Amino acid sequence: MQQVEETIANFPFHIILGSGSPRRQELLKSLGFDFLIKPINSDETYPPDLLAEEVPLYLCEKKADEYPDELEDDDLLITADTIVWLEGRVLNKPAKYDEAVKMLESLSGKMHEVFTAVSLKSKYKQTIFYDSTKVYFKKLKKEEIEFYVTNYNVYDKAGAYGVQDWLGYIGIRKIEGNFYNVMGLPVKELYEELIKF
């Protein structure tokens, strides 16, 4: 136990989280590392020929490249991106009510994959990795979808849902893989990569 405490307490980098996501902030905090929060306002467009994990890998690297400050020798920038992948296409964050309802109707009764990619970037090197999780939804009732979209903030979430809130509680039949990856940060893999870094 003491060795783990010392590793975290004496981590040789100042961690900067380049994300405004409260879920990512909560998950990184739970690992025990101190960090600064400096959200990066990046245009989340990507080449149309990218498939599945290629999309978040591209976007998390793009966010890292667009960090506005110069990294110091002991800085470590973390950026991440999460997508929902359904039947060969990306479900992004919905822009309006009708779009959110339509997304959830398309997820209803099906399996989709969630890919989260993470970049760790210092002044001298960069590591990029990803994790994937399969999520199985029950057949959602129309009134359940409408209640959720009306009462919860779905507009900052890929696929228009949060695994950790009401729709996750009542709608998900099964998850294969890392639950926290669906929240937006594969914390086990992140911890291991931070220790290696």
Catalytically active residues, by annotation: 81
| Residue 95: count of CB within 10 angstroms of its CB | 9
| Residue 96: count of CB within 10 angstroms of its CB | 10
- The amino acid sitting at 86 is L
CA-to-CA separations, 94 to 32, 88, 120, in angstroms, rounded? 32, 18, 28
Angle between helix axes 22-30 and 187-196 (nearest 10 degrees) is: 60
d(CA 80, CA 102): 26
